[in-house]
């Protein structure tokens, strides 16, 4: 694919292109990824997002990795949608701690129409602080997507999670096509797309290829691509999964960077269990976004003290 038109929205990747990248010698792969990274971004800057679970637990879906599904006994207490003021207070704290984007997540299959006014109010409040806004609320109707967009929502996160082929091994209550359908509505409403998935769920190498291929061939590719390493949750079907090898994880990041050179590639869940050296390799291989703070939605994240030390050592500025 080298030397082709750089207008990514029209480029179609072939499965064999992705297979070849996955099989490339590590040094070649990371070098190519780093080259493309610096052609498109400042390699010494990493974008910082902060998550908040605005509605936790009790979810009717059966995503096999998730602490928040009501189908599994994970010991997580369910709670109602947070008040607008409480969300605003958390966004203010996130801003003070250096986040530039605030991502609000709800454990729903879909939002209820009666919740839309409250959700739009939250978007407006967070935006008024000068933060970018992101929400992840499950499947949307076209009307709901338009309402969120009108309220000022910049990004909608909706992950494909894995390859189309492996999807129904992980989730049975909705299909891969349902996810694509919501992503189309998000685009049609004029919002930016945040879409990625999880590695370390027992998927085969060809599923990792199929997952990245599906993302890269979206037209256009997602602006933001979260790559999560599974946080194993006791009580879920995937609670005993073996952790993904660190080198394999870096490969995923590098291939994502090469396939989607203009997208933000986020080193998402799983930093808690990753060494500084593995994270440094991910940033070298083109990761340029993270979640900051002590917690993600329901699990832990390294937090400010550890992250400050890491980014100082790397000479990286969080933006």
DSSP state of 203: -
Strand 264-267 relative to strand 224-229, pairing: parallel
Catalytic residue of the set 103, 120, 195, 282:
103
Pick the stretch among 9-17, 114-122, 179-187, 223-231 that binds ligand DTB (CB under 6 A): 223-231
The entry of ligand DTB, ligand SAM, ligand SF4, none that residue 161 binds, CB within 5 to 8 Å by partner kind:
ligand SAM
For residue 52, the cross-strand partners are: 104
User: Does 233 contact ligand SAM by CB under 6 A?
Assistant: yes
Return the structure tokens found at 208.
């990792």
The smaller minimum CB distance to ligand DTB, of residues 18 and 265, is found at 265
In the complex, the smallest distance separating the C-beta of residue 64 from ligand SF4, rounded to whole angstroms, is 9
Q: Which of 115, 147, 148, 144 is nearest to 133 (CA)?
A: 148
What is the DSSP track for 107-176?
--SS--GGGHHHHHHHHHHHHHTT-EEEEE-S---HHHHHHHHHHT--EEE---BS-TTTHHHH--SS-H
The entry of ligand SF4, ligand SAM, ligand DTB, none that residue 158 binds, CB within 5 to 8 Å by partner kind:
ligand SAM
Is 195 noted as a catalytic residue in this protein?
no
Single residue of 149, 182, 228, 289 touching ligand DTB by CB under 6 A:
228
Return the structure tokens found at 148.
């969120």
Q: Which of 98, 30, 97 is nearest to 280 (CA)?
A: 30
Pick the stretch among 70-78, 85-93, 124-132, 230-238 that binds ligand SAM (CB under 6 A): 230-238
Single residue of 56, 136, 224, 241 touching ligand SAM by CB under 6 A:
136
Pick the stretch among 15-23, 35-43, 103-111, 185-193 that binds ligand SAM (CB under 6 A): 103-111
**Which contacts qualify for 22-26: CB closer than 8 Å, 24 or more apart?**
22/205, 22/208, 22/209, 22/251, 22/255, 26/247, 26/250, 26/251
DSSP state of 8: G
User: Does 107 contact ligand SF4 by CB under 6 A?
Assistant: yes
User: Does 285 contact ligand DTB by CB under 6 A?
Assistant: no
Rg (CA), the chain: 18
In the region spanning residues 170 to 209, those forming contacts with ligand DTB, defined by CB under 6 A, are 196
**Residues 6 or more apart whose Cβ sits within 8 Å of residue 25:** none
SS3 257: helix
The smaller minimum CB distance to ligand SF4, of residues 231 and 267, is found at 231
The smaller minimum CB distance to ligand DTB, of residues 29 and 52, is found at 52
User: Does 159 contact ligand DTB by CB under 6 A?
Assistant: yes
User: Does 64 contact ligand SF4 by CB under 6 A?
Assistant: no
Strand 45-55 relative to strand 101-106, pairing: parallel
User: Does 268 contact ligand DTB by CB under 6 A?
Assistant: yes
Q: Is the dihedral of CA 202, 204, 205, 206 positive or negative?
A: negative
Residues found near ligand SF4 in the complex (CB under 6 A): 59, 61, 63, 66, 68-69, 107, 138
**Positions marked active-site:** 59, 63, 66, 103, 134, 194, 266
Residues found near ligand SAM in the complex (CB under 6 A): 65-66, 105, 107-108, 136, 138, 158-159, 161, 197-198, 228, 230-231, 233, 269, 297
Residues found near ligand DTB in the complex (CB under 6 A): 51, 67, 103, 105, 136, 157, 159, 196, 226, 228, 231, 268-269, 296-299
């Amino acid at each position: 694919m080298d030397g082709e038109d750089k207008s990514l929205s029209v480029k179609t990747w072939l499965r064999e292109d992705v297979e070849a990248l996955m099989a490339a010698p590590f040094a070649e792969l990371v070098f190519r990824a780093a080259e493309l990274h610096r052609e498109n971004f400042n390699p010494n800057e990493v974008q910082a997002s902060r998550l908040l679970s605005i509605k936790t637990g009790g979810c009717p879906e059966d995503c096999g990795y998730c602490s928040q599904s009501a189908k599994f006994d994970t010991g997580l207490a369910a709670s109602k949608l947070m008040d607008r003021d409480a969300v605003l207070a958390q966004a203010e704290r996130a801003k003070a701690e250096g986040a530039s984007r605030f991502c609000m997540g709800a454990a729903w299959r879909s939002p209820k129409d009666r919740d839309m006014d409250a959700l739009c109010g939250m978007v407006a409040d967070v935006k008024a602080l000068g933060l970018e806004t992101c929400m992840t609320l499950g499947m949307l109707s076209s009307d709901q997507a338009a309402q969120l967009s009108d309220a000022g929502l910049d990004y909608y996160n909706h992950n494909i999670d894995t390859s189309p082929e492996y999807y129904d091994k992980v989730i049975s209550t909705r299909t891969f096509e349902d996810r694509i359908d919501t992503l189309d509505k998000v685009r049609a409403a004029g919002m930016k797309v945040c879409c990625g998935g999880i590695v370390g769920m027992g998927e085969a190498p060809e599923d990792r290829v199929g997952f990245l291929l599906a993302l890269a061939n979206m037209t256009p590719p997602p602006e933001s691509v979260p790559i999560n390493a599974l946080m194993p949750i006791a009580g879920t079907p995937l609670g005993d999964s073996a952790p993904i090898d660190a080198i394999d994880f870096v490969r995923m990041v590098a291939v994502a960077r090469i396939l989607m050179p203009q997208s933000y590639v986020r080193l998402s869940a799983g930093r808690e269990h990753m060494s500084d050296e593995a994270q440094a390799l991910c940033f070298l291989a083109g990761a340029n976004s993270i979640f900051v703070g002590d917690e993600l939605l329901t699990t832990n994240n390294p937090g400010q003290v550890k992250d400050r030390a890491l980014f100082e050592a790397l000479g990286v500025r969080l933006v």
